[in-house]
Amino acid sequence: MYICVFCSSSNALAEIYFDQARELGKQIGDGSHTLVYGGANVGLMQAVAQSAKESGAQSIGIIPELIHHKNLSSNTDNEQIITPNMRDRKYLMRKRSDAFIALPGGFGTLEEILEVITLKQLHYHQKPIVFINTNGFYNSLLDQFERCYAESFSKPAYKSLYYIAANSSDAMNYISNYKQEELTTKWFDVPQNPKH
């Protein structure tokens, strides 16, 4: 299975986040999966990639030119893809992957994981999506999701679009046992347009 991991590229994080990234990489390798990720040599990206490699996983690093030219490309990957921009990077990460996991991260990670949730909501894919909620990192975001459901910005049924995992083992178990389900339309009330 090709498992996409979205995560931070910061080296300034607490060790608990690196520990979980390394554990996820190990489990990806132990399961004979392939890692698909952002291809950088810093932060949780490097931690998960290095650990995956040490555990026997293949990895595909997909990195945009601008970041590559800052000497931020990992040298651990079996395949490196350099894209002209972030849009193409995200497209290829989605296309090459069978499942998506978000470790803690900043604006880029949030954009990536929310985009795959949105695309699943609109029926562009039916792949599993997981947040690993290390140290309660995503609690505030999940509270925002609950407000969306409570105030009818999103349907409560769409809680099934994603899974909240306590750790890497929980995440990998969910992905391994994932079954697609039929989702209803995201719209509460679709107007009937008169025929012309």
CB 140 within 8 A of CB 110: no
pLDDT, tens digit (0-9, with 9 covering 90-100), for 14-71: 999 999 999 999 999 999 999 999 999 999 999 999 999 999 999 999 999 999 999 9
The reported pLDDT for the residue numbered 182 is 75
Q: Are strands 129-132 and 163-165 parallel, antiparallel or unpaired?
A: parallel
Regions of the chain where pLDDT drops below 70: 185-196
Q: Is the whole-model pTM more than 0.85?
A: yes
Q: Can you tell me which residue has the tokens 């954009």?
A: 111
Beta bridge partners of 83: 64
46: how many CB neighbours lie within 10 A of its CB? 22
Domain edges within the chain: 2-139+152-176
Closest CA to 6 of 138, 135, 123: 138
Say if domain 2-139+152-176 classifies as CATH 3.40.50.450: yes
